[in-house]
Structure formats: structure tokens, C-alpha cells
Structure 1
Amino acid sequence: MARTMYPSSEDLIHEKLVKRNPNCLQSWWSYLISKSHSPFNERLAIYERALKAHPDSYMLWEAYLGERLDLVKDLDFTYPQYETLNDAFERSLVTMHQMPTIWLMYLENLTAQKLITRTHETFDRAFSALHVTQHGRIWEVCLEYDPVSHAEDFVEILLKYGRWKEAAENLATVLSGEFQSRKGKSVYSLWMDLLDVLVHHADEVSGLDVDGIIRKGIGKFMYEVSVFWTSLADYYMRKDMVEKARDVYEEGMVKVVTMRDFNVIFDVYSRFDVAKRMELDDDEEEEELMKRRPVLANSVLLRQNPHNVEQWHHRVKLFEGDAEKQILTYTEAVSTVDPMKAVGESPHTLFVALAKLYESHNELVDARAVLEKAVQVNYKDVDHMACVWCEWAEMEVRHENFKGALEMMRSATAAPWPEAPWIEPEQVHMELYKSLRLWSFYVDLEKSVGTLEATRDAYERILELRIATPLIILNYGKLLEENDYFEEAFKVYERGVNMFKYPQVKDIWVTYLTRFVEIYGKTKVERARELFDNVVLSDETKRAMEIYKEAMRKVADEKKLEMYEMYIVRAAELFGVKETREIFKEAVESSGVSEDDVTMMCIMFAEMERSVGEIDRARGIYRYASQFEDSQVVWEKWHELETEHSNEDTYRDMLSVKQTVSGSGLRPVKKSRSGSPFETLPTSPVKKMRTM
């Protein structure tokens, strides 16, 4: 065995002393000093024996833990020696829990190991175990390690002991960054706590930049900022800086973006103002503040959405009687509002209203300049652009500049140059020449102050662009009639009835027929009859047929036979008997018609073909109908047909079919619902009819 394993003579002396009196701390300490140059493993056993005898010895624990810390200082945190060290600290705290130095050593050790959760829990245990007078030493380490997580606790302690300035300073520092309360408080709630300290202890927090702190809070929130502004004003009032407080109220009212914040600031400001005016016995200033309220409130709404056209118009009304302010407001509006983002009214109304305002003060040059700028704006809708041109022309007419108004409208209705460098392809300027509003105004203007030829050219251009309405057609026809161009008026009516469908075309037809009869009377009867025939066969008739078709899809099955009979009769009246074949075919093939009704429909179908001399068609339909049950009526009708129109071969065919269906004992087949009923026969009568 190695020599180092045997105790030395000096060790034996110390061993006798500690065994003789283990409760003597000095003996253990002398023993450890004598082994100061020995490896830690040799001293470890002595430390453990000494601490077992003296577990409440601060000197032993501090030395022991200090040596363990030195032992691991060069090791990586993943080594197991760190866990042994942490266990030693935990054992020490059983008796050393009131010793801040032990806690600090343990906390610094955990911090170095980056055991976040365990470190937070140990900080909490330290605060709970130590007397409050010793918390300061722990707080220094705590805030250095994690200044945010425990800031609330620290601030609460500062507030409890009335250290207002330090509390405000620490809370402001924490709130200047990203912060999440460990106690579930919102950031806004913590700001309210800070405002309470700053305002109600204004003298105690002197030296802090209160104005800057509160304004930083205002910058963090868009809504619910009224309390910040009123608190800042209250702070200055407590510092006897009345004018500065008034400036803060004024600034707050022109910067908030919600009516709620505005109302809060205005109400507080008005009470403040009333109190100060009562001291000065001055009521005029109070009335002045109330007069300003509508304008200030309107400013808030415009800050919410500067593209709200309706609010700009309302703002102008607030300055009624002050033309200069109205002009300045409209000028600001037209330079602020983006036509593509405008809400409420159309943005062109701002230009028009500004031009009319200049016009009302006989400033026509400025009015024309405004409208000239307005027609260059790219609006969301081409109708807005057309309205500006019409308003401009109306202004010129009001001042009897008829020639200028006509030239302006001719220019506006002209098709744009494809190479125009100032017009983007997507701009409304490219579609302006197709604006019905613009053309309607133009033709009215030409009729009033222009020539007949120019008016006719304008109407013709409308028809070429295919933007005419029934009213345009009627007005054009009336214009021609008033100037005795009757045939040309009728040609316009003809173009109108070809352009529109029912019911839009109804008024054109009524006017056309009425005027034709009034003008020509009985001199052109054949032409009048032809016109009336065209009306009967017009879209109204087609619409009636569409209604019948829709009815066939909607009526109950038991009513379909009756409805088909009405449909066929009406179609025969309008289009002739032969045109009902498709309706018969649809009825026979319809899945909603009962078998008995199909038999009756086949008989009607065959009789129709027989009436127009189509005997083979009728014979094919009877052949198909004979396949159904209860077909006795079919055989009687078929026999009647063959008796009157058959030859020996066709009569023999009928007998052959009858023998096949009934004489041979075969049951008649029921109507197939899966496809065309005519496909059940070797030769479909419908297909046969199509080939004839």
C-alpha cells in the first residue's frame, strides 16, 4: 500500500484531538489548516466529518463551498461535479438559510450554469428566507442577472417604502423595451401605474424627464392615449406651469385619432379652462373653446381617414361665412385625397365645389384653373370624370360662353389619341369618350345652342359607340320629326328595335307604331301591317315561349299534360302547326308525364302529322305508342288511319305489329325513363321525321 495512504504523525495528533472533543470547532479548523497543502480529496472527508459535527458553522460551510467552487471553475458545465456542488449548496441552506453570503454564492453559481428556471426559483427562495433588510444585496445580483423578470417586485418594494423617484425610474426603464409581466398585468396597466407615480408625486420625481417619459408612452399606443395627455397636463398644473398645461391639452386634441380620446381630453380641458376663467372672471375664452369643438372633432375624423370626402365637405361648412378658410380647406382637400382611396362621396365633388366657390366670388380664371386640373385626375370611375366636364360646360353656359362650352364638349367626347403621352392605358381618360352622361349632356347642349347637323352627328356617334338607351332613341326620333325628317326618324326607330329587347324595346315600338299611323294613316296600310306583324313576332313572343318552357319544368306531374296542350296550341297559333313537332317530342320523352298521358300525347302528335299530310310520320308515332299498356285507343286510331290512307303493305305491317304485341302473348312494355322513348323501337319516328 502506498505511503500516502497512512496518516502522518501530525495527522494522528489532530485525529486524537477531534475524537476526544468533536464539538470543538477549533480542533476541526486546525486540522483543516494543517491539510491546506494536501489534495482536496483528502480534505473532503475532514470537511464532511466537521460539518456533521457542526452543521450550523458558517465558517466551515463558507470554506467548504469556496473550495468546491475553485475545484470546478475550469470545468465545463456538463461535468457531474457541478451537480455535486449544487447538492452541497442545498445541504448548506438547511442551516445557513439566513446567511445572504451563502445565497449569493449559490445564485452566482446557478447564474453561471445558466439554469434559468432553477435560478428564478432560488431567487424567490432567497427573498422568502432572508430578512427584508438583507434583500438589497440579493436585489443587486437579481437585477444584474434579469432586470426585467423581477422588476415588478422591486418596484413594489420601492413604492411600499415611498421611494417614488427610484420606482418611477425603474418602471420607466423596464417599459422602454419589450416587457411581459410575471403577474399577468398588461403593459398598458403598468403604464397607468407609472403615470400615477409621476403625476401624484410630481415634486418627489424632480430630476426625471417626465415629459419625455410620458410622450414615449404616447408613442407606444395609438388608441386610449387620452389619459397620457391629461396626465402630462396634470403634471404641469401640479408644477404651477398653467400655460404649459394648456399647450399640452391643445396638442393632445390635434394629435389623437379617436373621438373617444378627443372627448376625454376636451372634457378635462374644458373643466380646467372653466376653473381658470372663473379665477379671472372671463367667460369669452370659454365660449371660444366651445365654438372650436366642431372643427377640432372634424380634424380627428380626418386624421382617422384623410380620404373621407364627406368629412372634407363638412369641414368647409363649418367655416361658412369665411371664404378664405373655405378655399384653403378645399385646396388642402384636393391635394390630400387620393381618388383611388376616397370614401363617402366622389372626390371630383371637391374640385367642383372649389370651382363653384371661386365662381360665386366672380373668380372665373381660378375656377377654370381648378376644373382644368380636375379633368387631369385619374378617378376611380369614368362617370366622375364626365361629371367634371359637364360641370365645367354648365359653368361656361351660365356665363354665356356657348362657343367655349361646345368646343369643350367636342374635345371631351373625341376619342383619345393612342399615342397620347400623358394618358396611361388604365386611366379613365381612355374610356371618357364612351360616357353616356357626357354624350347626353353634349346632345342637349347642341340642341339648345348648336346646329341641327351637329346634333344629328352627335346622336349618330352615340349609336356608333353602341351606348344608346331607349330614351336616346326616342329623343333622336323626336328631334327628326320636329324638323320634318319622318322617314329618317322611322329609320332611327328601326335601329332602336333591333338594338334592344323586351321590355326595354316596348316604348320604342309604341312610339314607332303610333307616329307611323298618325303620319301616314291609311296611305301605307301594308307597311303598317308588316310593322304590327314584326311586333307580334318580336322578343315579347319569344319571352312567352320561354315562360311556357319554364312552366313545364316547374308544374306538378299531374298538370303537365294540360300545360303541354296549352303550350302546343299557343305555339301553333304563333308559328304554325309544323313548329309544334319539337314540343310534342319533348312531351313524349318527358320523364314527368305519366304513361297514360304519353299515350294521349302520341295520339295528338299523330293526328297533327296526319292533318298536314305526313302519313308516314303519323304511322311511325302509332307504332311507338302501341308498345304501351292499355293501347286500345291507339289501335283504333291506327286502324282508322290505315283504312283511309293505307295500301296492302302498310295494312299488313300494322297487323304484324299488333300480332307481335298481343297475339303472341307478349306483355306490352312500359315506357322507358332512362332515355329517349323512341329509341325502344327499331326505327325511331322522330329520327325518321328528321330525315324526311
Structure 2
Amino acid sequence: MAPPIVSKGKLSQGKPDLYLISEEDTIYEQDILRDPGSTKPWLAYIEFKFQHGSIHEQAYVLERACKQLPRSYKLWKTYLTLRTKHLGKLNPAIFASEYAKVNALFERALILLNKMPRIWEMYLEFLLLQPIITLTRRTFDRALRALPITQHNRIWALYRPFANSASGQTAIKIWRRYMQIHPEDAEDFIELLIEMGHYTEAVKQYMTILNNPKFRSKNGKGDYQLWSEMVDLLVTHAKEVETGDGTGIDVERIIRSGIERFADQRGKLWSGLATYWITRGSFEKARDVFEEGITTVMTVRDFTLIFEAYVEFEETITGQLMEEAAARSDKGVVDENADFDLDIRMMRFEQLMDRRPFLINDVLLRQNPNNVSEWNVRIGLWGDNKQEIVQTYTDAIEAIQPKKAVGRFHELWASYAKFYEKGATSEKAAKVPFKSVAELADTWIEWAEMELRNDNFEEAVKIMAKAVQAPKRSTVDYFDETLSPQQRVHKSWKLWAFYIDLVESVGTLDETKKVYERVFELRIATPQTVVNYANLLEESKYFEESFKIYERGLDLFSYPVAFELWNLYLTKAVDRKIGIERLRDLFEQAVEEVPPKFAKVLYLMYGNLEEERGLARHAMRIYERATRAVSDEDRADMFNFYITKSASNFGLPSTRPIYERAIAALPDKDARDMCLKFADMEKRLGEIDRARAIYGHASQFCDPRTSPAFWSKWEAFEVNHGNEDTFKEMLRIKRSVQAQYNTDVSFIASQALARSQQQPGGDDEDDGDAMAALEQARAPVGFVPSSTGPQGGNIKDGADVVAANPDAIDVDGMDDD
């Protein structure tokens, strides 16, 4: 055990105990006498004692120094450090007296150094080692009062752990003082309160920070997370939290404010509020909260959360009552009130489960009362309950805003009218400002169909006549959204189409014609209107009037609709066998402004008419005109048709000028095919030279590499009808044509690219390979000299072998044969 630092001799007034002063200290004592008001000689003296003196000597010198210079912070700090360090390993309970001496020393130091935070810190740290809570707490309070507020953080760093360890009311009071300066540490205070079981105080602290808009959580928690923690605390410790007036907490009001504040978490908060009342044993209040929750939430997710908690609550209560009933039954005890209560709760539970589809539907309708499909679902849920169905229809019509309706609002009105099967409902529906004209038109049609179902045909016609009623000259634009649907419905084609069908079915021809004429006056006729009107007149044997309708339709519509109308009109006119001159005038009108895309059919009809009822020469002129009028895609087919007709009517020689014009007019690909046909015709006529000339002409756009069929056919022709000179001339032309294509830069590039793409890995070939392919494309292939033999004469030994020309023919061998 370390000996206490106590001087064996008393310190007299300015007279030190000589036995604690050695000869070596004389020089330091003299320095002190020479300069008694300076700390420098004392510090040098103390440094010397720390190196060569005992702990008693060190304490003796420091005691004298502090007495002589009581305001020296450095001397006091050194002295206090020495004394506290000496007691650091001693038990404060056993050596309480020694600790008390040091405490007294600290008190002496603080008489003049009470503004020094480090002295206070040393004192407080030393007190924390001792089991004297009251003195320690009071010393902390003295330190806070003595030091300026800027230094308080140093004290609170020690005071807070002391408060936590002290616990009880002491800790709470200390933390309350601390919260006045540092409200940002409220979460730590709340955590301490929960650990200590002071749940009411913890909830109040939560309320304080949640009501402070400037509060920022040190742990990064948001408002909802803090709310959630508070609600969990209220629910979990519902019985421990003080409630009521005065100092109590209004839990229900708090949670309801959270429900209004956090709309996306209403399901959880409603369930929390109900659980709170369940914990407190107020089951009826809990049931009321559940009912309010499932009838006010706006999302299916929140509803599901509350409903599942509600069902679990009812199951638990019912299960407990059933267990009690079973226990009474085993004991033979009869309790009618308990049995009645069990029956009531069973009925409640069954009713709750039966209400689930309706409650979900209520949630969806609260989200959007303009959702027509959900109202239809609600109507379907009532089954055969007519009274509730009627009430639902009424509620839906009152709730839905027509302009915001989602779905077919008019169908809801139609269903309502069908349910009653009365016109009064439909008449009301016709006045509803629907979003679109189409919905209003459907409403009128449904009304008319209802009358038709009841065999009120005349009433249906009157309804439709009222629906399409409009001024004589209506300037209303069907697509003008600034006007109401009622102002535009008379231009609805769907409405007029139904009206026309209705009048055709139950009215006279004159009435039907008036309706059609009204459609034309309003300029809402469609191509189908024209066709239907014309067919109606045709069926009634009004052929001329039918033709006039087609002409009116042609005035209204341009191509491509006009093409279909002309097709029908001309077909009807030709079948009617009206005068040829009139038909010619009609066809001339038809082909006058016809686009090339639609010209082919009309010209063929025109030509067929001339062939059947006119002159063949006229038909040929029409076909000739057609070759110039049709589109490029149809021109080759038109020339072939023209040639066929000319050959059948005037013989093969008459087709020569047609072939010549076709070859000049058609693109190279079609011209090549036309040349082959032309040459075949001349060959059949025995005109070999003319055929050969045609082959020669066609050769200029037939590359031997891309059109091998042409050259094979010419070769066969020369084999059968030519001689050596003509065959060689053919070969010469072939080489010339190939050389021409070989020097065509664009053709060479395209061929080289095609070859590179056909080779595997062609995309990765370098520029050298591409150039090699290009060089190969430039080289003439199959060159045949004019000498006999496919190899061009004798080949000497060692000479390069010339590649054989596959197109060469052994003419000498042919002559021998």
C-alpha cells in the first residue's frame, strides 16, 4: 500500500520542515527567496524533485508553491495531477479519507481557479471514481454555474455518462437540463427513458421533436420513422403510458394526426390505433376504429392491412369465447348471456367476411368515383337485390362527372334504362353532357333499340328523328370540342347509319330517300353511304337515279375512294347495257384524271367494252393509251396484254411496233424479256435476220455474268440458225459487252462488294483483298481468239495454259457434222 502523502511536521508560517530539504535543494531555495513572486524557480525546483526526490518531497515543494502562488494554474495542475495519480490504484471505498483530502485540495484550487475548465474536469473525473453521487452531482452543477456556456460541452461530456449511470429521477432531471442546450440529442434521451421504463416521458419527447420543424435526426431518421417509433411505443406500452387530461397524453388524437399527415401509411396507423385500444382492453373502441379505417382508406393496400388485422382480432375474440363455452359445457354450466354473446360475435364475423367485396369496391370508388367499371362491379355484387341495384344506379349517376368519366358512361345509363325498360330514363340520359359525341349517339341508339324490343317501331323512328334534328344548313364542325355533344350529335354518321337502317326496315322508299338526301346535305356521307343509297335505288328499279348517286359520290370523294366508286359505277353501267357513246363518255371521264396506280383496271374495262360492243381498232388505241398511263410496275404487264390482244386481232406482224415501243419505254430488265419475246416471234415468222438484230440490240443491257440465260438462248439460236461468221460475231459482241461492263466503275464496285460478302469472314478482309477482288473483276473472262479451237491455236511446251472459254463452240466440228 502506498503511504499517504502527509507531512510529518507541521508547516509553520513561512518556515519549512528542514528534514524535507537537503543540501542539494539549497540553490533552489535561494532562487525562491530572491524571486518569491515568480513561478520559474518553483518549476525548476519541482522538476529537480521529480527527478531526484521522493513523493513526499515532491508534494512538500508543490504544497509550498501553491500556498505562495495560489493563482498559478500550472502549479496547481501539477500538484493535483500528482495527488490524483498517487491515489489512482487505491480503492475509493477503503481509502475514502485519502480521497477526501484530495477533494479538499481541489476545493482549495477552485477558490481562485474556478474559471479554469481543466481543473473542473480533473476534479469531476476524480469524483466519478468515488461512490459519492450527491457530491458529484452538486459539483457538476457548480462547474456549469462557474464556467461560461461556451465551456459547458466539456462538462456535459462527463455529466451525461454520470447521469446515465445514476439512473432514476437524477438522470431524468440532468437530461432535461441538457436538452435545453442540446435538443439535437433528444433521441439519446428517449432511448434512456425507454430503458428506464419512463414511457410517458419518452412519448412527450417524441412529441416535442416532431412538433419542431427545425429538428434534424442525428441518425438520419425521417418524420415518419420517428412517428412510427412513437406509435409503436404507445401501442406496445399502452397500459404504462399515462393518458387523460392534465399531464396525460391523448393517444388517439396523436395517432389520428399522424393518419392525416402520412397519407401513404394510413393502414399501418389505423391498425396501430386499434391495437392500442385492444391492449387497453377496450374492444368496442377497437372495433369502431377498424370500421372507420376500412371505410375511409383510399388504397387497397391499406384496406388489406386493416382488414386482415380486423379479421385476426375477431377470430381471436371468437376463439376465446368458444374455448370458454367449451369449458362451461365440460363442467355442465349453462350461461345464456355468454352463449348469446358468442352467437352475436359469430354473426359479426360472418357479416364482416361477406362485406369484404363491397368494402374493396368502396375503396376503389373512393379513389375515383368517376370509374364506370367499378360502379358496374358494385351493381353486380348486389345480385337480385333490386332495391340496392336501383340505389347504386342512382348513386353512380350522381357521383360520376360525365367529362371525367373513366369508361363507357353511356353504357351505365343504358343498363339503367334496360333495368326499368322505360323511356324516361333514356330521355334523361340523352341530356347528359357526355365526353364525346359517340357516347351520346350510342345513348340515342340504345333508346331506339329499347322501343324496338317493345315493338314500338313508330316511336323508335320518332326518337331517331329527334336525335338527328338539325338546322337546314348546319355549319357545326363535328370535331369542335368547344361545343357540347348535343350540339354536334346530328353530324354523327353512326347515328345516321342506324336511322337509315331503321327507316329502310319500317319506312317507305320516299322516307328512306329523304333520310339519304339529308345525309348528303349535311355533308357527312361516306363511301358506304353512296354505295348503300345506289344499291337501294337499283333494287327499287331506279337505275338512272342510282347512277346519279354514284356521280354525286364521285364529286365528294377523291382517289383512292373514287377508284372504288368508278369501278362499281362502270360495272353497273356496262351490265345495264346503256348506249355505247354514253359508256365511252363515262370511261373517258374515269380515265381522265386517274392516278397511274389505279389506271390499269379502268383501261382494261374500257378496252374490254370496245372489244365486246365497239371496234377492235378502238380497243387497241385504248390499250396503247394504257401503256402510257399506268404506273411503272404495271407497264410491262400492260404491254404484254396489248401485244396479246393485237396478235389475236390483227396477227403477229402487227405487234412489231408495239414491241419496239415497249423496248424503248421499259427499263432494262423488262426490256430484255421483251426482246426475247420479240425475237421468238420473228423466229416463228422466219425472220432470222430480224431476230438476230433484236438479240444484238438486247445484248447491250445483258451482262454475261448476270444474264447467262439470254446468252444461252442467243447461242442456241446461232447454233440452229447461224453459221461460223454469225457465231463469231455473237462471241465478239459478248466480249465487247463484258468489257463494257468491266469498265463501269459503279458496276465493278458493286460486284467486288458482293464477292467479299459471299466469302466467309468477308467483313473482316483487309483492303488488299478488296483490291484483289476488284482487279479480278476487271480481267476479261473467257477471251476466245479468232483462230480455230477453244484454246486459240497451238500451245507450246512450257507455255502458260490459257483458261478454256465455256462459251466457245467447236465450229469446225459443227461443219464436219
TM-score by length of 2: 0.55
Shift of 1:244: 1.5
Distance 2:429 2:302 in 1: 39
In 1, Cα distance between equivalents of 2:741 and 2:251: 104
Superposition deviation, residue 481 in structure 1:
2.6
Structure 1 residues 452 and 672, CA gap change in structure 2 (3 angstroms)? farther
**How far 1:404 sits from its partner (Å)?**
3.8
Structure 1: tracts of 5 or more residues without a match: 1-6, 34-42, 69-84, 547-563, 608-621, 630-661, 675-692
Deviation at 1:93, TM superposition (A): 8.2
- Per the alignment, residue 50 of structure 1 pairs with 76
Supply the distance in 2 between the matched residues of 1:124 and 1:32 (Cα, whole angstroms).
Answer: 31
Find the counterpart in structure 2 of residue 351 from structure 1: 413
Contact 1:393 1:409 in 2 (8 A): no
The SS at the match of 1:425 is: coil
Q: Distance in 2 between matches of 1:316 and 1:199?
A: 40
- Please report how far the alpha carbon of residue 253 of structure 1 lies from its aligned counterpart in structure 2 after TM superposition: 0.4
1:417-496 paired onto structure 2 within 5 Å: 425=482, 427-429=484-486, 431-496=488-553
The structural deviation recorded for 1:164 is 1.8
> How many residue pairs were aligned?
563
Pick from 377, 381, 386 the counterpart of residue 441 of structure 2: 386
Equivalent of residue 210 in structure 1, options 240, 245, 251:
251
**Alignment gaps of 5+ in structure 2:** 1-32, 47-56, 85-104, 130-135, 244-248, 323-337, 602-630, 644-656, 680-696, 705-735, 748-817
Q: 1:338 to 1:371 in 2, by over 3 A?
A: closer
1:111 CA drift (Å): 6.8
* 1:542 has 2:597 as partner: yes
Letter in structure 1 aligned against 2:637: R
Is 2:377 the partner of 1:322? no
- Contact kept, 8 Å, 1:571 with 1:579, in 2: the verdict is no
| 1:170 aligns to 2:208 (yes or no) | no
Aligned letter for 1:491? K
CA offset digits 1:225-264 (Å, max 9, x no partner): 3232222222223333222211111101011222232223
SS in 2 for 1:401: helix
- Residue 431 of structure 2 is matched in structure 1 by 373
Cα-to-partner distance string for 1:401-458 (whole Å, 9 max, x where unaligned):
3464144123268776879xxx973544554333211111222233345554443233
Shift of 1:542: 1.3
Distance 1:91 1:158, change over 3 A: closer
TM-score where L is the length of structure 1: 0.63
The alignment status of 1:145 with 2:181, answered yes or no, reads yes
Opposite residue 347 of structure 1, the aligned amino acid is: F
Larger Rg: 2
Distance across 2 between alignment mates of 1:454 and 1:216: 70
Q: Which amino acid letter does the alignment assign opposite residue 385 of structure 1? A: L
Aligned residue in 2 for 1:306: 369
1:104-115 residue pairs with structure 2 within 5 A?
A: none
Contact 2:527–2:561 (Cα < 8 Å) also in 1: no
Q: State how far apart, in whole Å, the 1-side matches of 2:193 and 2:573 are.
A: 99
Is the CA contact (8 Å cut-off) linking 1:307 and 1:338 kept in structure 2?
yes
Q: Per-residue CA shift, 1:98-144, capped at 9, x if unaligned?
A: 77766996899897599xxxx6x996676457762175465234422
Matched to 1:342, the amino acid is: A
Task: Tell me what 2:305 maps to.
Answer: 264
Aligned: 1:132 with 2:165: yes
Deviation at 1:466, TM superposition (A): 4.8
* Distance (whole Å) between structure 1 residues aligned to residue 640 and residue 588 of structure 2: 13
- The higher relative CO (CA closer than 8 Å, separation ≥ 6) is in 1
Name the residue aligned to 1:286. 349
1:229 matched residue in structure 2: 270
Cα RMSD (Å) of the superposition?
5.8
Map of 1:569 onto structure 2? 636
Preserved contact between residue 110 and residue 119 of structure 2 (Cα < 8 Å): no
- The answer to whether residue 302 in structure 2 is matched with residue 273 in structure 1 is no
Note the C-alpha offset of 1:311. 0.4
- The 1:444–1:602 alpha-carbon spacing in structure 2 relative to 1, beyond 3 Å, is closer
Aligned residues with identical type, % of pairs: 31
Cα 1:249–1:26 change in 2 (3 A) is: same
Aligned partner letter, 2:290: Y
Aligned with 1:225: secondary structure?
helix
Structure 1 residue identity aligned to 2:202: A
In 1: Cα distance, 2:429 partner to 2:174 partner: 75
Letter in 2 for 1:410: V
**Alpha-carbon spacing, 1:247–1:348, altered in 2? closer, same or farther (3 Å):** same
Shift of 1:373: 3.2
Instruction: Provide the rounded CA distance (Å) in 1 between the counterparts of 2:159 and 2:472.
Output: 88
Of residues 348-357 and 211-220 in structure 1, the stretch that sits farther from structure 2 once superposed is 348-357
Q: Could you tell me how far apart the structure 1 residues matched to 2:178 and 2:473 are?
A: 79
Deviations 1:269-289 (A, max 9, x none): 233334347562313333322
Provide the residue aligned with 2:191 in structure 1.
156
Q: 8 Å contact 2:414–2:426 — kept in the other structure?
A: no
